């Protein structure tokens, strides 16, 4: 996949409209910046993969908006998405922290979102727990040994992103795509919030994690850096 195939996608307006409709129709919200919206790229990538995309793995469900954006593609896939379903960034802000004025993203509310906004009736599996938990990792590897599209949007610390990469990237099939969310540079970096914890440690450092991955000596042997679309950094398995 080339970045030009994404940027030149003919129906970008349709893709944006899909995200807006989902945002208006679900419990909670789609996690997006209205001025710098790029969530629709997930729909574009899903369509570009066509029938080659059999299994999608998402780390960080929130209200299900990103998953539903990909589910809007007619190409049949199994969707697997994990979250603690206990609030907004519970590791940083504490369990039960309300997502703005939307409340807690319980698994029951997210299930309702998926059932009401899944026009092609894609099968799905919502996993409650941390992507870093050994039990969760083993469950995914045993039940979904091949992944064709991986969306990493969970723990935003450098350590957390690197751990998700180490634990799940090996599942990617040849030609499979990894999308890192919140790769904040330029205008996106200026719009970022809570970039340091109370001790002054930079916790939302997707950029630092991805740059370390891409700069690895062995990266180009197995991976291709497709490029950046908005705040989504895209990598392909060779």
Can you give the pLDDT at residue 140?
98
Closest by CA to 206, choosing from 96, 59, 28, is: 59
Predicted local distance difference test score (pLDDT) of residue 204 = 80
Contact 168, 147 (CB under 8 A): yes
How many domains would you assign to the chain?
1
At 201 the pLDDT is 63
Mean pLDDT by 10 residues, the chain (238 residues): 97 95 94 79 98 98 97 98 85 64 91 98 98 98 98 92 97 98 76 60 82 96 96 96
Kindly list the strands in the beta sheet with 147-152, ordered across the sheet, starting from the edge strand earlier in the chain. Answer: 123-128, 78-83, 55-59, 147-152, 172-180, 232-237, 223-229
pLDDT at 195: 57
Domain of 217, CATH number, reads: 3.40.50.150
Return the pLDDT at 188: 62
Given this model, what pLDDT does residue 72 score? Answer: 98
Q: What domain range is 104 assigned to?
A: 3-237
Question: Tell me, what's the pLDDT at 98?
Answer: 67
pLDDT value for 187 = 66
151 forms beta bridges with 58, 179
> SS3 for the chain, per residue?
CCHHHHHCCCCHHHHHHHHHHHHHHCCCCCCCCCCCCCCCHHHHHHHHHHHHCCEEEEECCCCCHHHHHHHCCCCCCEEEEEECCCCCCHHHHCCCCCCCCCCCCCHHHHHHHHHHCCCCCCEEEEEECCCCCHHHHHHHHHHCCCEEEEEECCCCCHHHHHHHHHHHHHHEEEEEEEEECCCCCCHHHHHCCCCECCCCCECCCHHHHHHHHHCCCCHHHHEEEEEEECCEEEEEEC
CA distance 153 to 57: 11
């Amino acid at each position: 996949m080339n970045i030009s195939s994404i940027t030149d996608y003919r129906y970008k307006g349709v893709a944006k409209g899909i995200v807006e409709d989902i945002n208006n129709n679900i419990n909670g919200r789609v996690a997006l910046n209205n001025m710098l919206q790029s969530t629709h790229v997930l729909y574009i990538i899903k369509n570009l993969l066509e029938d080659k995309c059999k299994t999608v793995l998402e780390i960080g469900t929130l209200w299900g908006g990103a998953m539903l954006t990909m589910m809007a593609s007619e190409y049949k896939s199994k969707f697997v998405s994990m979250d603690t379903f206990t609030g907004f960034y519970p590791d940083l802000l504490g369990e039960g922290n309300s997502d703005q004025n939307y409340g807690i993203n319980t698994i029951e509310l997210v299930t309702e979102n998926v059932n009401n906004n899944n026009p092609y009736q894609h099968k799905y599996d919502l996993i409650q727990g941390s992507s870093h938990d050994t039990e969760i990792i083993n469950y995914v590897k045993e039940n979904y040994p091949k992944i064709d599209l991986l969306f990493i949007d969970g723990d935003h610390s450098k350590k957390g992103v690197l751990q998700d990469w180490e634990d799940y990237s090996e599942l990617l099939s040849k030609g499979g795509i990894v999308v890192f969310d919140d790769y904040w540079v330029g205008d996106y970096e200026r719009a970022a919030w809570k970039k340091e914890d109370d001790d002054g440690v930079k916790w939302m450092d997707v950029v630092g994690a991805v740059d370390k991955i891409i700069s690895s000596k062995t990266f180009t042997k197995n991976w291709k850096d497709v490029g950046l679309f908005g705040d989504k950094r895209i990598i392909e398995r060779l």
